[in-house]
Amino acid sequence: MTVEPLDQTRGDSTPFLNGARTAALSRNEVAALCMKAARGAGMSWGLAEEAGFAAAWLVQHGFDGPRYLHAYLAEAQGRAWSDLCPTVAPGEWRAPEGRTLCPVSLGATLCDHATLAEGLAEGCPLRIGPVDHPVLLVPFLATIAGAADIRIELEWADGSVCIGGDPGDLAGAMDGLAGSAALSLTARPGPARAPAAAASPPIDADTIAALNALAMRTTVPPSEASRAGAGSTASDND
Amino acid sequence: MSRTDLHPMPDVAAFRRPASEVMRLARMGCSHPTRLSFLRTLLRRMRTEGWRIDRPVWEVDDRGVGHAVYRVRGGAHAYSLVAFAHDLPDEMRSDRVIATAWDATFTLFDGEPSPADIERLRANVPLQEAGRVTTRELTLARANRSVRLVRHVIEALSEGRQPDLKEIAAVGYLMRTTAVYGSGKFGAADRADIADRPELAAPFQVEMLTVWLIRAFTVDIVEHMAAVRGGVGAVRLDPAIRRTLGVGNSTGLGMAPFVVRHPILLNNWMMAREEALARVRHQPSATPEAVTELRRVLDLAIRNAAAWTSEHPVQVAKLGDLRRDLDLVSDQLTRWNTGQSRPWDALWRWGAGTLSCEGQEALLSLMLEPHGDLVDDLATTMGADEAAAFRLDGAMRVGDLRAVLADRYGWALAIDFTAPENVARFWYVSEEKLEPRLGERAIEEGAAREQPLCIARLASELEGTLRDYPDDAPVATVLLAHPEHRFMVRRAQVARFHPYAEVRDNLIAADMLPIDLLRSKLAFFGATRFDPRSDRWVRINLFQGAPYPDEIGSEGPR
């Protein structure tokens, strides 16, 4: 039995790993860790929830959502909302001059506008970008496709994938969406096919440690006052 | 859950209490367990489906160290509690979440564990938060003994006699759990992966099953140690005494944010309970059997209230109210005209006009007891598919959102958040244990890292921002300019269709009592003997009076 004061509830990631280089995380752990990390990196609580959703969706479909999210957060933390927020207009959503869009904010905003004039309309390409790590956009596009029973053609300079199309296509496209890219989205008539659920990938130790470090920025160092009221101060040998 | 899910008789809704009454913290802090509480739901299912429970493994040595497996077979699945018994020095025994060692540690295994599974679990479960489990495990838990009662019971049994009933009654449990983790924590199975099993669809069923089996273990380990010490002269615990022992539980602030973070669940719990009360009140008449049963459970409640003790001044006052009110109910039953139209509603109206909050909520619980046929189906409506409600509606018009805020959050919009007493506290997560805590804004550091549990203020701030927008603007436009309101817009959209989703009090006010949140949640679990040890942590008892695994098959449904 350990008396070491290090454990997962102290923000230490070692126990996740049991000495290995990777760990299997439940989707609940992925969502919680990524939500906290996104908040720690500066997202609003509501957008941080979207980050948790996106990472958990990716894991549920066999993709390493935590790694993609961390790659984005590591680059983008500290950027002001005005630098991340798209200019929304029918047919074209542009990034601020010289900037790239946040895929989580963009994905959430696309969902918000899904049934509005500025959103995706069947057969009308929507040019967007450039977008950082657009792989993180996929969970949002899959949500839109499923809700409206449409397929969404996602095209970039050297590739394309149909969200809601053949579930097998997604895996081949993910690497091409890991950098940053200008995108074109086109809604096509459904039916939408749901991407296939898959075994969760093992998450790399460095990814977990880095997300944990960001997550710890949402926490408050202890004080005597805070410890005092939290539980028993007397002996529990009663 | 929508109203259509409840299959209500149309005019039953008129008998439902409004959220403005039900969702006040002072009333939530008077909650009593009911027959819809989660441990009752589990016990009912095990009885009616004839679940088979045995203990295929008992490998515990003369020092009380080793492991045991309790196997449950019912429905399409088997579940096994794997229990590890430890030899814990007194100086390491702490109920706080900061503890690193316990008297016993547990996991609920999905199926029947192989020897290799047991060895894997032996390397992890005793470490609790410092170990890892897998998707084969459903919960992770630990318990500490009541040093005083365990010592007394082992001594008595080993000497061939039964323990002193006063000692038993004073504590009420042999061990108390200090955490029961589920829902994918520490690598365990995700709730979404098991929620479609009928026996696990209601909330917290794996956690309740874990605690119920832990209760059996606590008796077994004590009888084992008595046999080790007393040899052939030792006796087993009298089943009647055993029955009065539950599992204790120490719970702190960590549990409080749950009901705020899960508004749809909270709504569904409250809605089910309120619909149950409404169905009972709506009945045109009272059957003699139901009236007899009401008197029986009232007598039990009076005895329970007499035995229920606490030193906390708030709880002492509430217990005084409860005892007085139960006596009033007892008197009223002698006058109650059960032949009148809607006699249950008449009884309820009398109670609402006469009793304290404590007595009213106790009366609610009593009135549900005789009516299992009428209300037990509501237990199936108390879960929630939160993921399905996650996506917010950006096309909603600002005017509609404003109306939702006025309708569901009027109580919050009326609060003056420039007054220090209305922002006196802040919820945060501690760096040292990642546990929720409550700070004093004026004197403690850390408010910049406040958790979004200050719902009233968030609603008020959102309402302020909406003033800059015309009624016909889509919410998507507001969120594009104000990402900081996304969290609250999502909640407000949930509250629109879930009237009981929000605690209608300011959770950062100077006079807010966190134990009120704890009591509400614990009552839904089915906890009894709520005993606050401060305004933010409590001890309770689970399964006191309930059957043990060797008894459950021989009891009729209740």
Q: Which of residues 86-125 of A touch B (CB under 8 A)?
A: 86, 88, 105, 108-109, 111-116, 118
Query: Which of B129, B191, B445 comes nearest A9 by C-beta?
Result: B129
- Mutating which of A3, A6, A7, A235 best tests the B interface, going by the most B Cβ atoms within 10 A? A7
Whether residues A46 and B487 touch (CB distance < 8 A) is answered with: yes
Q: Which of residues 156-215 of A touch B (CB under 8 A)?
A: none
Average pLDDT of the residues of chain A: 87
Identify residue B54 by its one-letter amino acid code. Answer: D
User: Angle at CA B479, nearest 5°, toward B473 and B484?
Assistant: 140
* 8 A C-beta contact, residue B69 and residue B56: yes
Output the pLDDT for position B129.
Answer: 85
Q: How far is CA B556 from CA A36, B31, B45, B50, B322, in A?
A: 48, 27, 12, 10, 30
The yes-or-no verdict on residue B155 having pLDDT over 50 is yes
DSSP B98-109: T----SEEEEEE
* 8 A C-beta contact, residue B167 and residue B233: no
What is the value of ipTM here, to two decimals? 0.93
B430 contacts on A by Cβ (under 8 Å):
219-220, 222, 226, 230
DSSP B6-59: G---GGGGGGSPPHHHHT-HHHHTT----TTSHHHHHHHHHHHTT-EEEEEEEE
| Closest chain B C-alpha to A126 CA, distance in angstroms | 17
| Closest chain B C-alpha to A219 CA, distance in angstroms | 5
- Give the pLDDT mean for B451-467: 98
Tell me the pLDDT band of A6, cut-offs 50, 70 and 90.
Answer: very low
More confident call, B129 vs B171: B171
- Domain boundaries, given as residue ranges, for chain A: 17-193+205-218
Output the pLDDT for position A84.
Answer: 84
- Give the pLDDT mean for A180-198: 91
Beta-carbon contacts below 8 Å between A and B: 208
A219 contacts on B by Cβ (under 8 Å):
428-431, 434, 449
Whether residues A230 and B252 touch (CB distance < 8 A) is answered with: yes
Average pLDDT of the residues of chain B: 94
- In the numeric block, which tokens belong to residue B148? 């005083």
Output the pLDDT for position B557.
Answer: 47
A18 contacts on B by Cβ (under 8 Å):
124, 131-132
The yes-or-no verdict on residue B244 having pLDDT over 50 is yes
Tell me the pLDDT band of A49, cut-offs 50, 70 and 90.
Answer: very high
B440 contacts on A by Cβ (under 8 Å):
225
- Search chain A and give the residue with CA nearest B254: A230
Whether residues B134 and A113 touch (CB distance < 8 A) is answered with: no
Q: For the segment A8-27, what is each residue's pLDDT rounded down to a tens digit?
A: 555 555 556 656 688 889 99
Query: Which of A45, A116, A222 comes nearest B431 by C-beta?
Result: A222
Query: Which of B127, B394, B536 comes nearest A2 by C-beta?
Result: B127
A203 contacts on B by Cβ (under 8 Å):
none
- Give the pLDDT mean for A72-76: 91
Tell me the pLDDT band of B460, cut-offs 50, 70 and 90.
Answer: very high
Please, is B284 exposed, middle or buried when counting C-beta atoms within 10 Å of its C-beta (0-12, 13-18, 19+)?
exposed
Q: For the segment B364-411, what is each residue's pLDDT rounded down to a tens digit?
A: 999 999 999 999 999 999 999 999 999 999 999 999 999 999 999 999
* 8 A C-beta contact, residue B405 and residue B492: yes
The yes-or-no verdict on residue A230 having pLDDT over 70 is no
- Give the pLDDT mean for B449-462: 97
More confident call, A186 vs B93: A186
The yes-or-no verdict on residue A65 having pLDDT over 50 is yes
Whether residues A46 and B488 touch (CB distance < 8 A) is answered with: yes
Lowest mean pLDDT among A212-221, B37-46, B97-106, B503-512: B97-106
Output the pLDDT for position B556.
Answer: 54
Tell me the pLDDT band of B10, cut-offs 50, 70 and 90.
Answer: low
Whether residues B190 and A28 touch (CB distance < 8 A) is answered with: yes
Tell me the pLDDT band of A50, cut-offs 50, 70 and 90.
Answer: very high
Query: Which of A16, A27, A47 comes nearest B132 by C-beta?
Result: A16
Determine the Cα–Cα distance for residues A75 and A130; give it in Å rounded to an integer.
15
A225 contacts on B by Cβ (under 8 Å):
439-440, 443-444
Tell me the pLDDT band of A168, cut-offs 50, 70 and 90.
Answer: confident
The yes-or-no verdict on residue B516 having pLDDT over 60 is yes
- Search chain A and give the residue with CA nearest B97: A231
Whether residues B490 and A4 touch (CB distance < 8 A) is answered with: no
| Closest chain B C-alpha to A238 CA, distance in angstroms | 6
- The predicted model scores a pTM of 0.94
Q: Which of residues 8-27 of A touch B (CB under 8 A)?
A: 8-11, 15-16, 18, 23-27
Q: For the segment B97-142, what is each residue's pLDDT rounded down to a tens digit?
A: 778 889 999 999 999 999 999 999 999 999 988 888 999 999 999 9
Output the pLDDT for position B251.
Answer: 85
Query: Which of A1, A15, A23 comes nearest B101 by C-beta?
Result: A1
Determine the Cα–Cα distance for residues B344 and B283; give it in Å rounded to an integer.
7
Query: Which of A23, A112, A147 comes nearest B479 by C-beta?
Result: A112
Output the pLDDT for position A1.
Answer: 29
A220 contacts on B by Cβ (under 8 Å):
428-431, 437, 439, 445-446, 449
Query: Which of B100, B189, B446 comes nearest A220 by C-beta?
Result: B446
Query: Which of A16, A217, A232 comes nearest B533 by C-beta?
Result: A232
Instruction: Considering only the C-alpha atoms of chain B, give the largest distance between any 2 of them, rounded to a whole number of Å.
Output: 84
Query: Which of B97, B131, B390 comes nearest A53 by C-beta?
Result: B390
B66 contacts on A by Cβ (under 8 Å):
none
Q: How far is CA A222 from CA A8, B40, B431, in A?
A: 17, 39, 6
A45 contacts on B by Cβ (under 8 Å):
452, 484, 486-487
Tell me the pLDDT band of A7, cut-offs 50, 70 and 90.
Answer: very low
Count the neighbouring beta carbons within 10 Å of the beta carbon of residue A158.
7
Output the pLDDT for position A229.
Answer: 56
Nearby residues of B407 by Cβ (< 8 Å), 6 or more positions away? none
User: Angle at CA B108, nearest 5°, toward B102 and B114?
Assistant: 105
Lowest mean pLDDT among B16-30, B65-79, B184-198, B448-462: B184-198
Phi-psi sector, B8: left (phi>0), alpha (psi -120 to 50), beta = beta
Whether residues B438 and A229 touch (CB distance < 8 A) is answered with: yes
| Closest chain B C-alpha to A162 CA, distance in angstroms | 22
Q: For the segment A130-166, what is each residue's pLDDT rounded down to a tens digit?
A: 999 999 999 999 999 999 999 999 999 989 999 998 8
The yes-or-no verdict on residue B4 having pLDDT over 90 is no
A35 contacts on B by Cβ (under 8 Å):
none
Q: Which DSSP category does B547 fall into?
A: P
Q: For the segment B475-499, what is each residue's pLDDT rounded down to a tens digit?
A: 999 999 999 999 999 999 999 999 9
- Search chain A and give the residue with CA nearest B484: A44
